């Protein structure tokens, strides 16, 4: 039997979504003779077709000439045709977004799983702020259609589950919450160019991540003369240009180090040897109403690094004051104060990171999350 995993995303990449996709397809590949991953190509460096054991990857569209909507529409058509060609052999089709989903749910006899990490109507305005209400309502219509016609919905956050129930009228028993996870590295090796004394931010650079708040907080820590802020971005360097202006305005250019698209093992080494890992998520609709399950929090826990994070419901789903320093979001002075306290109290740092690592081992390893996903597939196959 054939299973399908579809994602309007580039795979592999340095983004957190790529980590999630890797874990999902690894599990789904054990439930059939072949797992077919359908995703974006991104550029010509990735092969259009690639085979690894029983996983066949088919990538679409390396052209940059297509705009977002053109590429999304064509991708949906490709997914539809791929499902159509194999409809009698497919047991489970798992998808991450509406562009993948519309090509799958059109086939009523294919059992489907909608993995809702985020919704397009919520995420896209951060990328394209001038989208009209009419266009966003059309996106919501497609989301509603995918939610209604999928057999099971999987989401990493209880906040997201509540959002789907209240705003999209999804039945509670249709939604399974499976948080993100992380692997705990066996050993760490300090990178040769790691600063002697630094705090770290890693991940994407969208506005809802709150990195501007962290940069402003750094301006209030100028008396820590040797303290550096290491930013490990999961996107291309050019995406950092707007923040570069803020760094120059704050006069902290000599205290900020930027690295882009690091390999996971290298990134974990930088995380482990940082004094603190900062997750300054903003108090916006994306984080508070829609919800998320921040990988940066779990990966910081797994690396044994003391975490400073915004005090939001999605964060409290993962950690409490016993495992992290939680701060009021969007307040650079409060963030700077908490960073200062932990830098001055290493014993408190150690206590928090130790508790966080223990919680990670008990609740948030990928193996424990994939057991939950395995049960979802087993229950779906039994229907």
Q: Say whether both 105 and 207 belong to one domain.
A: no
Residue 342 lies in a domain: yes
Q: How far is CA 298 from CA 244, 294, 311, in A?
A: 27, 7, 15
d(CA 282, CA 211): 9
Block residue for tokens 């490990």: 232
The whole-number pLDDT of residue 261 equals: 87
Q: Say whether both 14 and 107 belong to one domain.
A: yes
Residue 191 lies in a domain: no
d(CA 161, CA 285): 15
Q: How many CB atoms lie within 10 A of CB 93?
A: 31
Q: Say whether both 344 and 374 belong to one domain.
A: no
d(CA 20, CA 306): 23
CATH of the domain at 61: 3.40.50.2000
Q: Which domain holds residue 264?
A: 198-363
Q: Say whether both 292 and 241 belong to one domain.
A: yes
The whole-number pLDDT of residue 7 equals: 98
Q: How far is CA 307 from CA 144, 299, 355, 357, in A?
A: 36, 10, 11, 11
The whole-number pLDDT of residue 65 equals: 82
d(CA 350, CA 375): 36
The whole-number pLDDT of residue 62 equals: 75
Checking phi first, is residue 73 left (phi over 0); if not, alpha (psi -120 to 50) or beta?
alpha
Q: Say whether both 171 and 252 belong to one domain.
A: no
Q: Say whether both 311 and 166 belong to one domain.
A: no
The whole-number pLDDT of residue 242 equals: 84
Q: Which residues of the chain have pLDDT under 70?
A: 63-64
d(CA 76, CA 100): 6
Q: Say whether both 282 and 225 belong to one domain.
A: yes
Residue 215 lies in a domain: yes
The whole-number pLDDT of residue 346 equals: 97
Structure tokens at 98: 């509406």
Q: Say whether both 90 and 143 belong to one domain.
A: yes
The whole-number pLDDT of residue 90 equals: 97
Q: How far is CA 201 from CA 27, 65, 80, 149, 171, in A?
A: 30, 32, 39, 39, 37
Q: Within a 13 Å sphere around the CA of 90, how many CA atoms are in the beta-carbon half?
A: 26
Residue 264 lies in a domain: yes
Checking phi first, is residue 228 left (phi over 0); if not, alpha (psi -120 to 50) or beta?
beta
Tally of domains within the chain: 2
The whole-number pLDDT of residue 235 equals: 78
Q: Say whether both 89 and 224 belong to one domain.
A: no
Strand intervals (E) in 53-159 = 55-60, 90-95, 111-115, 152-155
Q: Say whether both 169 and 216 belong to one domain.
A: no
Residue 228 lies in a domain: yes
């Amino acid at each position: 039997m054939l299973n399908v995993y579809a994602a309007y995303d580039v795979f592999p990449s340095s983004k957190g979504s790529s980590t999630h996709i890797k874990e999902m397809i690894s599990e789904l590949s054990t439930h059939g003779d072949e797992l077919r991953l359908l995703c974006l190509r991104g550029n010509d460096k990735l092969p259009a077709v690639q085979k690894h054991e029983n996983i066949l990857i088919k990538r679409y569209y390396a052209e940059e000439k297509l705009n977002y909507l053109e590429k999304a529409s064509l991708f949906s058509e490709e997914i539809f045709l791929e499902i159509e060609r194999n409809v009698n052999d497919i047991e489970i089709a798992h998808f991450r977004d509406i562009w993948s989903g519309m090509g799958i749910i059109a086939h009523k006899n294919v059992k489907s799983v909608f993995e809702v990490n985020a919704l397009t109507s919520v995420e896209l305005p951060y990328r394209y702020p001038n989208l009209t209400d009419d266009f966003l309502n059309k996106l919501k219509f497609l989301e509603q259609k995918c939610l209604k016609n999928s057999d099971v919905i999987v989401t990493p956050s209880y906040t997201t589950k509540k959002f789907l129930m209240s705003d999209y009228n999804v039945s509670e028993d249709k939604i399974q919450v499976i948080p993100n996870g992380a692997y705990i590295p066996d050993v760490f090796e300090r990178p040769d160019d790691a600063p002697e004394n630094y705090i770290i931010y890693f991940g994407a650079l969208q506005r809802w991540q709150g990195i501007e708040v962290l940069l402003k907080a750094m301006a209030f820590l100028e008396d820590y003369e040797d303290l550096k802020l290491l930013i490990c971005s999961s996107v291309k360097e050019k995406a950092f240009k707007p923040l570069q202006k803020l760094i120059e305005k704050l006069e902290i250019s000599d205290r900020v180090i930027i690295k882009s698209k690091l390999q996971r093992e290298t990134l974990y080494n930088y995380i482990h040897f940082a004094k603190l890992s900062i997750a300054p998520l903003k108090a916006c609709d994306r984080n508070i109403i829609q919800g998320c399950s921040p990988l940066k929090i779990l990966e910081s826990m797994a690396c044994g690094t003391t975490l400073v994070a915004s005090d939001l419901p999605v964060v409290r789903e993962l950690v409490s004051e016993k495992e992290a320093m939680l701060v009021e979001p969007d307040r650079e002075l409060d963030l700077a104060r908490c960073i200062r306290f932990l830098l001055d109290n290493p014993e408190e740092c150690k206590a928090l990171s130790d508790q966080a690592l223990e919680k990670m081992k008990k609740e948030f390893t990928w193996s424990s999350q994939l057991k939950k996903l395995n049960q979802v597939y087993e229950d779906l196959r039994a229907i």
